[in-house]
Structure 1
């Protein structure tokens, strides 16, 4: 099954499950700009926060992101500081309304027109997901939303979020495609049993996704031009 000449999936697939950060929304661009500025509110020595450090920690939930980037600049953040930074970044993300990645809406529309279900599986709390989807006018694009705040569900890279997404749609994971930008998310999806697509619009570049054992097929992006695609992609 081929969508718009941009995304090929097995014909047996019944649903597309999207990650949010780095796949649907370009929240990475926001964090690259804002993370150093916000971190200076709690780190009072001089530091440089390279973009590759932000990108490497981008797949984690927001509190863990702050713990890791603070440690990268030599600061052990207290839980109070982590809470403060998390609240500040969430406010920015809700206020700025990160742009939607190219091609995502068109692929969702094509999938729904073909009778496939669509879901969003994110390492963010559900209220934050819904707020950001509302700001981007995307909430209606998804049949189900799975956040990281569901009691009893482990966060990515555990398979639990994708297993829950498939369960809510009444499907076996093997009938779902998961679209992820990070190795952490790809591990969660692949371990759950989903056919796993990597797209290099967030945490990882194309070469990293292309070589990853948990990624079935990798794309440079889903824009109007035919994206790079790993050998063996279904046509």
Structure 2
């Protein structure tokens, strides 16, 4: 794992050139943590679930978290309820540092978002943050299995018409990084929601303001963001 305190935290990606960059959404491009906490706290109270039981669900599709905690007879109702709560609470959702610039840097290059959110929720959160997504947006509605399975990143690569091993995935969550590794992608982790020890990635930076993406023809490189760059 890359040491974020090292002189060059991007050393693990040195001299790498990528055909595409695939971003996670929540915790990577947008900060939706307060809304997520409020929605899941209300849901947990409704269904008698403790905070300890909810731990470890970051980065997973909501329905998968529900199925892990709720018995079969009540699963459909519980999934419908968390979907309602999340769509109803879009307050305090903001763009994370560097996210808007990263997408602008890649406007002429292949890039995508691959999120565990549903399509309606992804669209709502991106709009609430005022962030314009790339053309390719993969949600849980587009794949059979969500993270930590590789399906979201494999589907993003397919739609971008590139090989998964030529993609760089940017993630904040351990489950998302597991999905990226399973897909064969290179990984850049951001320390927006997790501690460094939790993240197994080729490189780790505090957030996207620490880097710049440089398209050059069909290739993309990632570099540290200097004050003049």
Shorter-chain TM-score: what band? 0.7 to 0.9
- Whether 2:30 is the aligned partner of 1:25: answer yes
- Whether 2:141 is the aligned partner of 1:149: answer yes
For residues 124-203 of structure 1, the aligned pairs below 5 Å read: 124-139=117-132, 141-150=133-142, 153-202=144-193
1:62-97 CA-to-partner distances (Å, cap 9, x unmatched) read 1233455xx4xxx7582144134313322234x326
2:196 corresponding residue in structure 1:
206
Normalised by the length of structure 2, the TM-score is 0.75
Task: State the superposition RMSD in angstroms.
Answer: 3.1
1:120 corresponding residue in structure 2:
113
Are the counterparts in 2 of residues 31 and 54 from structure 1 also a CA contact under 8 Å? no
1:15 corresponds to which of 16, 20, 27: 20
Are the counterparts in 2 of residues 206 and 219 from structure 1 also a CA contact under 8 Å? no
**Residues 1:201 and 1:129: Cα distance change in structure 2 (over 3 Å):** same
Q: CA deviation at 1:34?
A: 3.8
- For 1:124, what is the secondary structure of its paired residue? coil
2:227 corresponding residue in structure 1:
none
Structure 1 portions without partners, runs of 5+: 226-232
After superposing on structure 2, the runs of 4+ consecutive aligned residues of structure 1 that deviate more than 4 Å are 5-11
RCO (CA 8 Å, sep 6+): is it higher in 1 or 2? 2
**Residues 1:185 and 1:15: Cα distance change in structure 2 (over 3 Å):** same
Structure 2 portions without partners, runs of 5+: 1-7, 212-221, 225-229
**Residues 1:172 and 1:80: Cα distance change in structure 2 (over 3 Å):** closer
How many residues are paired up? 205
1:137-186 CA-to-partner distances (Å, cap 9, x unmatched) read 323x31301111225x3222221211111111111112211011122111
- For 2:154, what is the secondary structure of its paired residue? helix
1:49 corresponding residue in structure 2:
51
Query: Which shows bigger deviation, 175-184 or 216-225?
Result: 216-225
- For 1:57, what is the secondary structure of its paired residue? coil
Distance 1:15 1:80 in 2: 37
1:39-62 CA-to-partner distances (Å, cap 9, x unmatched) read 22333xxx8626xx6562121111
- For 2:51, what is the secondary structure of its paired residue? coil
2:101 corresponds to which of 106, 121, 133: 106
